[in-house]
Structure 1
């Protein structure tokens, strides 16, 4: 029993132990003074008040012991109580500074919930975080990166940096991935595009193995890795090089298309592109019927996605099913 109590005591944080010792000292001396000098300290609360102001060196002087034994008790409280209080305050300040340093260095585990996790620090991830903050200011974001030495975020309670290899489970655990809303894997600054994609696939496999129900979007630079990303369980694949090349090709013949696509994807623009689960009232209706309904609400139906296959502007007779995802332009907020 004694060994169990010792082990339990050792597991308690130092600050909690100090606080417990200080409280025990204050309650003990308050009881002693109330018992020894009931005329000076008629209530236990007044004795406890005196013990607090004495041990914290405030010393208002509204209550003072008058007997010799009472003053001896006060001397002991001053010698031991003040030492414990100062030690507690010093450790509290040290713990605060240490936690701030760990947060800056990326070694502090996150307590975020329903947050986004983005892997690798680059220009795309920086812009992604800025857009999230503008469009969804209440959402928290965690950045995982192994190249930074300090956090790129300053004075923000909704942004946190985790330093570590994203393909390690311990790093993902530190980012509280099981409570996260989604994970975005951007291509790292590797020597070649192939090695960057290989690292992204490895991170994807680790994340899906550790938390198989999290939604993951992964950026790939080469087309060869697209089948591997699908087999690894990627929910969304962003082939950034392919998208860029398509935009550059079409912009030569159709001027302004790149700006139009960018505008459609900008959540701060109006109208903006949305993907939503099929509402119950649309199930069983045709694409043409639903298009007429939503047009009255300043919405424009663009297409349907089912089982990973997207059909833009399907035939008007196409029936919408419960498991379909709907793409639309929405002017409302």
Structure 2
């Protein structure tokens, strides 16, 4: 029993222990002075008030022990009480500064939930964070990077930096990945494109092994690694080099294509492209019927997505299934 109590005490944070000790000291001396000198301390609260102002060196002088015994207890309170109070305040300030330092250096575990986790700090990551903050300002974002020396964010309660390798389960645990909304992996800047893709796939495997239901989106630079990334469990693949090549190719022959695609994906532009779950009363209807229903809501369906396959401009007689999502253009967010 005693051993269990000692172990429990050891697990209590130092600041909590100090606070409990201070409360015990103040309560004990307040009770003693109230009993010894009821004429000076007519209520227990008066004695507590005196103990607090005495132990914190405020000393208003509105209550003063008159007996020798009372003054001896007062001297003991001053010697021990002030020491514990000052030690508590010093540790509290030190703990606050230390936590701020750990936050800046990326060594503080995250308490975020329903948040986005983004891997690797680069220009794409910076733009992604900027877009999320504009579209969903309430969303929390955590950045994992092994190369940064300190956080690129400044005093934002919804942004946190965690230093470490995302291929380590301990780092994913600190990132609270099991409570995350999604994991986004951008390609690292070190090494070749093949090396960057290999690191991305290794991160995918680690994340899916640690939390198999986490939604993952991964940037892949080489087309050869797209099948491997799918096998690793990526829910969404972003072939950034292929997308850039397609946009550049089409923009030469079809002027305005690149700008149009950019506008469709811009969170502040209208109309904007988004994916929406198929409403329950639309399931089993043809795409033509769904298009008429959506038009009354100022929505333009352009395709369906399901089982990691997307069909743009499907046949008007095709029937919507329960596990499919609609790709739509919407006039306002």
Tell me if TM exceeds 0.5: yes
Distance 1:154 1:127 in 2: 16
Taking only aligned residues, the RMSD between alpha carbons, in angstroms, comes to: 0.8
**4-13 or 192-201: which moved more?**
4-13
Q: Report the Cα offset of residue 292 of structure 1.
A: 1.6
Q: Report the Cα offset of residue 2 of structure 1.
A: 2.6
Give the equivalent residue in structure 1 for 2:172.
172
Q: Point out 4+ residue stretches in structure 1 off by more than 3 angstroms.
A: none
**TM-score, scaled to structure 2:** 0.99
The alignment covers a number of residue pairs equal to: 333
Distance 1:292 1:301 in 2: 9
Give CA-to-partner distance per residue, 1:129-174, whole Å, 9 cap, x none.
0010010000000000000000000010000000000100001110
Give the equivalent residue in structure 2 for 1:149.
149
Distance 1:296 1:4 in 2: 67
| Partner-residue secondary structure (3-state), 2:103 | helix
Question: What is the correspondence of 1:47-58 to structure 2 with a 5 Å cutoff?
Answer: 47-58=47-58
Distance 1:123 1:209 in 2: 28
Give the equivalent residue in structure 1 for 2:125.
125
Give the equivalent residue in structure 2 for 1:198.
198
**TM-score, scaled to structure 1:** 0.99
Give CA-to-partner distance per residue, 1:227-262, whole Å, 9 cap, x none.
111111100000000000000000000111101000
| Partner-residue secondary structure (3-state), 1:125 | helix
Give CA-to-partner distance per residue, 1:77-135, whole Å, 9 cap, x none.
11110011000000000000000000000000000010000000000000000010010
| Partner-residue secondary structure (3-state), 1:130 | helix
| Partner-residue secondary structure (3-state), 1:328 | strand
Distance 1:304 1:235 in 2: 16
| Partner-residue secondary structure (3-state), 2:98 | helix
Give the equivalent residue in structure 2 for 1:329.
329
Give CA-to-partner distance per residue, 1:24-44, whole Å, 9 cap, x none.
100010011001101101111
Distance 1:308 1:10 in 2: 51
Q: Report the Cα offset of residue 306 of structure 1.
A: 2.3
Which stretches in structure 1 are left out of the alignment for 5+ residues?
A: none
Give the equivalent residue in structure 2 for 1:283.
283
- Checking the alignment, whether the CA contact within 8 Å between 1:298 and 1:332 is kept in structure 2 is no
Q: Report the Cα offset of residue 189 of structure 1.
A: 0.9
- Checking the alignment, whether the CA contact within 8 Å between 1:286 and 1:319 is kept in structure 2 is yes
